[in-house]
């Protein structure tokens, strides 16, 4: 391939990327972006590096390179999303160009095949979220992944090998510390060695070639196991072999077979046909390149199949193999119909149609992504519209927020800086400590999911009867409670945060009832729920563990102003029988906790 042809290919690919992904520059942040940004903004340099590089501090994964990228972007762009999205698009362009270079190198100069592969891949809507979302690590992982493969191929093909080996190894380390997918890279390098280059080499020399990679495995795999054993993600949602693994595997294959998507059962029929065609050329015709692509595609998505969900964005790397296979099929047909006058315009028109439809699909995906981001910002936006500023040391405590607390916290940090701290009952194991801050609000959501604010009164003091801690005949203890204020307005809600502790493991499931009662004993409002709205059943409580449970008690508009009391009861969810409260001697004394002097005010 001449330099002029290479330049032409780069210009064409860059133009396609610019057209397809220009909507990305109008997008805002989304999801984990806010957590990354807040960490970068609140941390000193040493704190930030420790947060991402020290394995002991990891509670999700070990991805220091992703954290490092966000740190650099924060220094360059601050809270401006345009810079972050521009970096994503540029890295995606680099990945497309790496694919172009790799195919051209492996095919030994087949410029048309390389360009077709890159053009088919460049704007697929299948993975567009990975380009739109700065918090997704796949685009950065793929850059390191492909760079390592490219240097490895150069190492296998060139006479001056040492520097290419070192560069490939460095990029392997970068990929491995960007996302866990990088663990499959040495297998891909071995496959490229044995299936693509096929250099004759003694077994001992081959073993020595891959010993450095094996050495990294010996360090990385125990480290990753340690982190995942503590991971909030895997321990909350699960990661393991189950029936969904096979279902996910087939789903990913159907999308790889046709990246634009087909309805069932056409997607399964197409998958069978595609696998048969691939098997024929790879095995029957002994096409080692296609065999390599097939195995590499599967390895690129295999690590995510044990997750109990399915996202096509995980195919950002794997679908490159599909693009090369489709381009190879076009090239194979072209070589056999070289004299057909209709071939060139037909192929050009089909390719243009693919690119245009992909570009439209990416634009549609950008609109969907923007709407999803808008919805997650609703709780933040409602409060931001009511508060131009907040005083120093403001604390916002959310009850059952529709957006993850870590994301809300980042949104408020970008808007108000370090003055505002955000927490919620999401974890269910931490005290709210509403009165530890100069200014605090309890934020809850009404039946229409609109945000409501309860200012925290720091001066009031209220007690329960019997006195805390309160022990039940069930192995449960009520240690404490918190209220925003002793006074509430009609049409608002009383939010009481109860702090429970299990004295032992139990098989039974209990629920809680909160009632607003007047002086005559009439119940004017009530609410019932199992702990944390069913997310923390008492049968799952660990002995000695604290469980924070926020209960929302709406007050109707017709309830007149006056003095009331709250009554809290624990009952068996199966029998509906209340659980008695016992004194220090173990004698039952009552079946309810009473909190006096709750005032409804105009």
pLDDT digits (tens, 9 = 90+) for 3-44: 788 888 899 899 999 989 999 999 999 999 999 999 999 999
Is 90 exceeded by the pLDDT of residue 513? Answer: yes
Confidence at residue 210, expressed as pLDDT on a 0 to 100 scale = 95
Is there a contact between 350 and 113 (Cβ–Cβ < 8 Å)? no
For the chain, the average pLDDT equals 91
Query: H-helix or E-strand containing 382?
Result: helix 378-386
Residue 484: pLDDT band (50, 70, 90) is: very high
Assess contact for 171 and 149: CB atoms under 8 A.
Answer: no
| Residues 308 and 244 sit within 8 Å (Cβ to Cβ) | yes
What pLDDT score was predicted for residue 342?
Answer: 60
Stretch 462-472: mean pLDDT: 91
Higher per-residue pLDDT: 348 or 44: 44
Whether the upstream peptide bond of residue 265 has omega within 30° of 0, thus cis, is yes
Band of residue 482 on the pLDDT scale cut at 50, 70, 90: very high
Residue 513 sits at φ, ψ, to 5 deg, of -125, 135
* pLDDT score recorded for residue 81: 97
Residue 99 contacts residue 317 (beta carbons within 8 Å): no
Tell me: cis bond preceding 198? Omega within 30 of 0 counts: no
Point out which residues pair with 599 in neighbouring strands.
Answer: 487, 563
Rg (CA), the chain: 30
Distance, CA of 378 to CA of 371 (rounded, Å): 11
User: Is the separation of the CB atoms in 9 and 118 below 8 Å?
Assistant: yes
Give CA–CA dist 29/37, Å, rounded.
10
CA gap 83, 79 in Å, rounded: 9
- Across 216-240, average pLDDT: 81
- Tell me, what's the pLDDT at 504? 95
Share of residues in the chain with pLDDT > 90 (%): 70
Instruction: Give the mean model confidence (pLDDT) for residues 183-206.
Output: 91
pLDDT in tens, 569-580: 999 999 999 999
pTM (two decimals): 0.90
* Element (DSSP H or E) covering residue 317: none
């Amino acid at each position: 391939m001449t330099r002029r042809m290479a330049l032409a290919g780069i210009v064409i690919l860059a133009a396609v990327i610019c057209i397809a992904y220009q909507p990305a520059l109008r997008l805002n942040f989304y999801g984990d972006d806010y957590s990354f940004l807040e960490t970068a903004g609140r941390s000193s340099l040493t704190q930030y590096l420790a947060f991402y590089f020290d394995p002991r501090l990891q509670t999700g994964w070990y991805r220091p390179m992703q954290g490092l990228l966000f740190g650099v972007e924060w220094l360059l762009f601050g809270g401006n999303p345009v810079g972050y999205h521009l970096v994503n698009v540029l890295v995606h362009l680099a990945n497309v160009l790496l694919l172009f270079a790799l195919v051209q190198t492996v095919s030994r100069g087949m410029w048309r095949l390389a360009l077709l592969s890159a053009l088919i891949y460049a704007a697929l809507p299948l993975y567009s979220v990975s380009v739109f979302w700065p918090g997704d690590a796949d685009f950065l992982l793929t850059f390191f992944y492909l760079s390592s493969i490219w240097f490895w191929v150069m190492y296998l093909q060139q006479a001056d090998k040492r520097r290419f080996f070192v560069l490939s190894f460095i990029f392997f380390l970068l990929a491995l510390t960007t996302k866990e997918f990088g663990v499959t890279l040495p297998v891909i390098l071995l496959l490229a060695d044995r299936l693509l280059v096929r250099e004759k080499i003694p077994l001992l020399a081959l073993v020595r070639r891959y010993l450095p990679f094996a050495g990294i495995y010996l360090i990385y795999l125990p480290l990753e196991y340690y982190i995942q054993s503590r991971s909030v993600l895997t321990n909350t949602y699960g990661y393991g072999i189950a029936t969904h693994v096979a279902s996910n595997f087939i789903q990913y294959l159907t999308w790889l077979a046709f990246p634009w998507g087909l309805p069932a059962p056409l997607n399964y029929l197409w998958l069978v046909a595609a696998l048969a065609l691939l098997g024929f050329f790879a095995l029957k015709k002994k096409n080692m390149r296609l065999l390599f692509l097939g195995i590499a595609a599967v390895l690129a998505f295999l690590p995510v199949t044990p997750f109990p969900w399915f996202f096509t964005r995980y195919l950002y790397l794997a679908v490159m193999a599909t693009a090369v296979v489709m381009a190879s099929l076009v090239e194979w047909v072209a070589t056999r119909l070289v004299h057909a006058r209709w071939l060139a315009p037909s192929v050009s028109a089909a390719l243009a149609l693919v690119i245009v439809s992909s570009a439209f699909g990416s634009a549609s995906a950008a609109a969907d992504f923007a709407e999803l981001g808008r919805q997650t910002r609703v709780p933040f936006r409602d409060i931001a519209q009511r508060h131009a500023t907040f005083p120093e040391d403001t604390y916002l405590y959310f009850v059952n927020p529709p957006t993850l607390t870590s994301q809300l916290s980042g949104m408020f940090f970008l808007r108000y800086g370090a003055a505002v701290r955000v927490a919620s009952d999401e974890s269910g194991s931490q005290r709210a400590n509403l009165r530890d801050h100069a200014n605090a609000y309890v934020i809850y959501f009404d039946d229409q999911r609109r945000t409501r604010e309860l200012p925290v009164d720091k001066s009031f003091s209220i007690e329960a009867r019997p006195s805390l801690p309160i022990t039940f005949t069930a192995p449960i203890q009520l240690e404490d409670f918190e209220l925003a204020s002793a006074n509430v307005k009609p049409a608002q809600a009383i939010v009481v945060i109860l702090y429970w502790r299990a004295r032992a493991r139990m098989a039974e499931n209990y629920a809680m009832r909160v009632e607003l009662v007047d002086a005559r004993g009439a119940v004017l409002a009530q609410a019932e729920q199992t702990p944390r709205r069913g997310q923390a059943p008492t049968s799952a409580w660990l002995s000695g563990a604290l469980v924070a449970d926020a209960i929302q008690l709406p007050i109707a508009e017709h309830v007149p102003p006056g003095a009331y009391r709250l009554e809290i009861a624990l009952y068996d969810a199966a029998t509906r029988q209340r659980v008695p409260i016992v004194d220090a001697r173990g004698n039952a004394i009552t079946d309810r906790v009473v909190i006096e002097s709750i005032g409804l005010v105009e």
